[in-house]
A and B are shown apart, each in its own frame.
Chain A
């Protein structure tokens, strides 16, 4: 016998590889990658039409932060754990000595890394295209690019963790439930003209990325960018932990 103790991380690695193998044979991951890369075409078209500079780059960032960053994880991550429950394949994996939390962690890694691998270069390419006409402006706007990239990475991870925890708890209709959350909280409250818009993750991502914020007519106050950075940095591990707790103590029935 040459078994070694299976830890949270070693188990997560196996689940991540398994999930990636399955994802790359499906369509969703490729559709998500295409969606995340699509703004590059948009920025190129606008550049040809005569737009340029930070204004153009911020226009493209709107696409990412308003739609793609919240919605792409809903497609890729919400069903990751839920499908194990609904397809009953959890009966195979929970009969192993690997910690159940490694399933959550592995799925999160497998669904987030490919998205990051597309969004980071596509933002960079968009920024380069936006500055093709006046490359000298790059020296002034690269700190903004860094903030945008950081906000995009943090945002994707947070929304993926959020989609996963919602999908774990509401395993029957994971995508629908995540979409309801996104429409009510992120799109609805997030753009409300009162201070309550601060509850939306996307508000903090926009603040972090130095993008225009929705106008707050009542009780407006400014939040420093570093405070907004704390939101995804705290939420991602917290949501992952919650998904792990939900899976750890759960008894799933197979007779439904």
Chain B
């Protein structure tokens, strides 16, 4: 296995004329690795090949030294948190995670105990007996994380786990991911937001148009992204009140009110992110979700492509 938890060799996936993943070769060791790229870059397709839900059209994908496609026993050692929001709306969170854990071969009692422990870990104990259909986006993300971890996998794939999370959920998920890494697990986290990845790891894989464009330290492209205005969208009850608090701060380039959301332009996202909850607290604004639109990464990739061309 040569120390690598995940190995791809010339892996490709295409659907007819569309190439979703194009000749990707990579190797991932323990700890957190960020899979970064704009929407449509092929991140989710690559993750699905890594969890055995898509068969590579070409090349090989191995996890823990074994080929993944059709390898059911290997699924015991893998945890997967998909990107989409679809869940079993009419089941409670606890029922869903218990059933998913049972499907790994645990008895119902043990599966339930593990599910309860996971809900505690993601700070969702109070809501675990509520139906998933009643969960907010952030709660769903945490429930999805719980089902991915309840069987204690060695390799964990998290597809955009922070999308749509409120600040509290975001912090909790980041803590869980860091804890997994500290316990020697291999965690691959996909995101189109550089700042999210930065808070988890410095180790990144950069994808664009189905290809692996770069791998290594996040700080090398950090400088690039700082050169581009970064957008943060805050969904809240009173965006104008929040805007009043934030305008004038040195890391805020501009603000736009878009319905019940505030879109903030910044060149210093690392300073802006902690400032948002502070401003919300001070002005009594309730934040529903924090998202970073895809154009941040798209701008960087556009810049990278243009630089390469010139």
Contact = CB atoms under 8 A, between A and B. Distances in A.
A255 B100 CA distance: 23
Interface stretch (A53-61, A84-92, A178-186, A187-195): A84-92
Nearest to B153: A95
Contacts of A3: 76, 104-106, 151
Interface stretch (A44-52, A66-74, A133-141, A246-254): A246-254
B103 A91 contact: no
B44 A2 contact: no
B199 interface: no
B91 interface: yes
Interface in B80-130: 80, 82-84, 86-88, 90-91, 95-96, 99-100, 102-107, 110
A10 B106 CA distance: 11
A224 interface: no
Contacts of A22: 88, 90-91
Interface stretch (A11-19, A207-215, A231-239): A11-19
Q: On chain B, which size bracket covers the interface?
A: 35 or more
B80 A91 contact: yes
Contacts of B8: none
A86 to B, nearest CB: 9
A193 to B, nearest CB: 46
Interface stretch (B50-58, B166-174, B219-227, B269-277): B50-58
B268 interface: no
A251 to B, nearest CB: 5
B147 interface: yes
A6 interface: yes
Interface in A128-166: none
Please report whether the interface of chain A is mostly helix, strand, loop or mixed according to DSSP. Answer: loop
B91 A18 contact: yes
Q: On chain A, which size bracket covers the interface?
A: 20 to 34
Q: Which of B52, B96, B105 has the most CB of A within 10 A?
A: B105
A21 interface: yes
A252 to B, nearest CB: 7
A3 B26 CA distance: 32
B248 interface: no
A252 B84 CA distance: 13
A249 to B, nearest CB: 9
Given A3-B106, A11-B103, A14-B99, A96 B75 contact: yes
A5 interface: yes
Contacts of B44: 254-255
Contacts of A92: 80, 82, 87, 96, 100, 147
Given A2-B107, A97-B75, A98-B72, 14 more contacts: A3-B76, A14-B99, A18-B95, A87-B86, A89-B86, A95-B79, A95-B80, A96-B103, A96-B104, A97-B72, A97-B73, A97-B104, A251-B54, A254-B82
26 contacts: A3-B76, A3-B151, A6-B104, A11-B103, A14-B102, A18-B88, A18-B99, A22-B88, A26-B90, A87-B86, A89-B88, A91-B80, A92-B80, A92-B82, A92-B87, A95-B78, A95-B148, A96-B75, A96-B103, A97-B105, A98-B103, A99-B72, A251-B55, A252-B53, A253-B15, A254-B82
